[in-house]
Amino acid sequence: MSKLLEGKFALILGIANKWSLAYAIAQAFSREDATLVLTYLGEKQKDAIEELSKDLNVAAILPCDVTKDDDLAALTESLKGFNRPLHAVVHSLAFANREDLSRPFMETSRSGFLLAQDVSAYSLVAVARAVAPVMTEGGSLSTLTYVGSTRVITNYNVMGVAKASLEAGVRYLASEMGAKGIRVNAISAGPIKTVSARAVKDFSTVLEAIQTRAPLKRNTDPSEVADTAVFLASDLGRGVTANCLFVDAGMQVLGF
């Protein structure tokens, strides 16, 4: 029986630890027979990712700080060195200062606002530019977002604004890259207990509320997000672009 990503070459950015959504996606991609390239930020993270990748179908682990143009240029050259087309990219990167997620949005510092935009939104544009030369057969570029981009979520603050920018970027990139057969989409995942999510003040109360309010009466499982990423990267998703797919137990439909 063939696997959904058999013969696909994929790049996944953003694995930080075993709780990362990017790691769940890497596991699902590996299960479906994709060959993976992973990136890391700093030597400490490299060791962690090397340990996590032992059970994955990984061809290489490359350094990449998406806030540095030189790193992105080096990533392009490294990908060219494989002498094969890149078929799928998963962008799972976001960051905001912890203090900007716990104080009123109006008190966000200029530097904190720009940092969140740079890492969480602009990096998708920069990554798209870096991978386009090696996506010669078209393919899929996916990113991760959250409903706080369009609705006010208490304490999500500057990250919600960054996610709104990210989603707008998805639409503009999809419009430009479609002629090359490259599809660009976002997956809006429900709240999941990742390390980064715990930086949001009172996050545990959000998880508790969803179990009682969401149509499915439960929280989102990382594997559900991962399987959606597989769909987008596979030929099954060949007609889907410029979309935001919700994987949140139906929470986004509720008005209050």
The residues annotated with a catalytic role in the active site are 146, 156
Amino acid at the residue 217: K
The closest of 188, 83, 171, 81 to 128, measured between CA atoms, is 171
Amino acid at the residue 174: A
> How far, in Å, CA of 57 to CA of 39, rounded?
14
Tally the C-alpha atoms within 13 A of residue 251's C-alpha that lie toward its C-beta.
26
> How far, in Å, CA of 13 to CA of 22, rounded?
7
- Residue entry with tokens 């490359």: 62
Sequence-distant (6+) residues with CB within 8 A of 37 are 9, 10, 11, 12, 58, 59, 60, 61, 62, 78, 79, 82
- 174, exposed or middle or buried, with CB in 10 Å at 0-12, 13-18, 19+? buried
C-beta of residue 202 within 8 angstroms of C-beta of residue 22: no
The closest of 23, 21, 62 to 39, measured between CA atoms, is 62
